[in-house]
Amino acid sequence: MNVNTTTHKQLSQHNTAAGCYAPGGRYPLPSSVLMTVVTARAAGCPYVVLASPRPAPITLAAAHVAGADIVLCVGGAQAIGCMAYGIEACDELGAAEVPACDVIVGPGNKWVTAAKSLVNGYCGIDMLAGPSEVLVIADHTADVEIVAADLIAQAEHDVVARAILVSTDVDVIVKVNAEVERQVDCLPEPNRSTAKEALTQSFSIVCKDMDECIAMSDKLAPEHLEIQTENSQEVADRCANYGGLFIGTHAAEVLGDYGAGPNHTLPTGGTGRYTGGLSVFNFLRIRTWMRIDNKKESQDMVEDSVRMARLEGLEGHARAAEARSLTLTPAYKKANNGSN
């Protein structure tokens, strides 16, 4: 953009080194490898580090397919520290150098989240992820078997996961609860025990109308929001706060987990009110610059800057602007002349 022969530009520039964390606790999560590493590569990051505790063969395969440069077989706070501060190469152990990462992304347990909060500022992070959650808005048209299956799918993630049902129809809630009990008993272990414990802290909300359903959802700002209602698109269009939105019976949240629609690294714990899911933008930096070639044409900006600086009481700023003026004598010259 050119204004009075002043050139202004804004550039997006990728980070040099990206760190990606993939959990490996109850289940191997190669999907998290793909969601983070592929996104970093798509942004143009030339070096990508993946950390995952006790990576399963499928996790290592995903790292290869996604294009990770190095895999750290370590988890928790130690992994975040390694990626944030880097590791020197050790020839005796055959260990390669790990560069300090400019940004660290990916979900993890409370120790990972705590470590990310500590290094935030030294390097960038995507978000402070909490327990996974889903909220389903359902009315009398919802398929209770599908709603129950989606709630259970979220509950099996972790014992602290939350599955929330919001509906205008009490009968739907009663039927979904019965269906959840039936389906969860069919799960293998450890999925069944994990889901059952998570369901003890999950809940349903009965609302008087769809407006109240939407208001409740926006207040909670869930990580995953499913709309299983009549006129689902209209309802979805009125929802404002969420991580990922899944509209209609066929748009299962689990499809989003594995590659359809939003990145599955999403804001939790109500943070969807002010931030969104992982994307290439997490690996890009905005750079702005300006150049002035015509001193005469820039005088309006110079004079505006002098006035604004003095209104703020920043005399040094004002004098730096005056030094570029064709009509104003810089105050430091006046001061020097007066002293002579």
The number of residues in the chain equals 340
Residue 181 annotated as catalytic: no
In sequence order, what are the residues at sequence separation of 6 or more whose Cβ sits closer than 8 angstroms to the Cβ of residue 199?
151, 152, 155, 163, 180, 184
Residue 224 annotated as catalytic: yes
Which residue in the list 133, 156, 179, 223 is annotated as catalytic?
Answer: 223
Structure tokens at 29: 């999560």
User: In terms of Cα–Cα distance, which of 71, 77, 8 is closest to 288?
Assistant: 8
Structure tokens at 256: 């989003």
Structure tokens at 288: 């702005």
Structure tokens at 279: 């994307």
Which residue in the list 224, 226, 253, 322 is annotated as catalytic?
Answer: 224
Q: Residue 11 CA to chain centroid, in angstroms? A: 22
> HSE of 212 in the Cβ direction (CA atoms, 13 Å)?
10
Which strand (E) or helix (H) includes residue 303? Answer: helix 299-311
Active site residues: 223-224
